[in-house]
Amino acid sequence: MPLRKPDHHAGRRRLRRRPRPQDLALGAAVALLLTACTPTPTPVPTPTPTGPVAEATPSAEPTPAGPALLPEGSAEDNLPYFSQIIRSVWNSDGRGAGRAYVDALVGGGFDKGAMQVTADTSTVGNPAESIQVSVRWGEQCLIGQVGEATGEPVTTVLGALPDGACLLGETRPIDW
């Protein structure tokens, strides 16, 4: 029978190396990273009965699909609707006619008496590089600018001028 070498480690407990501070920091960073990547479960509300369930009834008025005129709203509230009207005329055959913008805004419910529009032709009869149209709304103005010089229509809300007008310079009479 062959002789065995004595096992020097028999009966001894294996000693563990103490973790170094950088090992602890690395472990904490990995744990934090893994925790941050785990989605947080979203609580699901449980319905609570409160009595008889009311059935939905269709309303007599259809809900508008897009922006609408808000007579009691501010100029900012009405800017999306104003912008929609300006864009729709810009995308039509009347895009170069100031009257088309005024008529569309009047058709949308804006007050013609509160509007201003610039000329659609230059002093020598060429098409204007841009046309501005405005609607006075309280102390503010809804202003739109369209034309080849601007590319796409631009709309904004600005404060009215001290004289109550919205546009500087010469505007054309809205007498139709």
Query: Does 80 fall in a domain?
Result: yes
Instruction: Please indicate, yes or no, whether the overall pTM of this predicted structure exceeds 0.75.
Output: no
Picking from 143, 125, 124, 145, the residue whose alpha carbon sits closest to that of residue 134 is 143
pLDDT by position in tens, the chain (length 176): 555 554 544 444 444 445 555 444 444 443 433 334 444 444 444 444 444 444 444 445 555 578 999 999 999 999 999 999 999 999 999 999 999 999 999 999 999 999 999 999 999 999 999 999 999 999 999 999 999 999 999 999 999 999 999 999 999 999 99
Residue 63 lies in a domain: no
Q: Is residue 111 part of a domain?
A: yes
Domain span at residue 90 reads: 75-159
Maximum pairwise Cα distance, the chain: 125
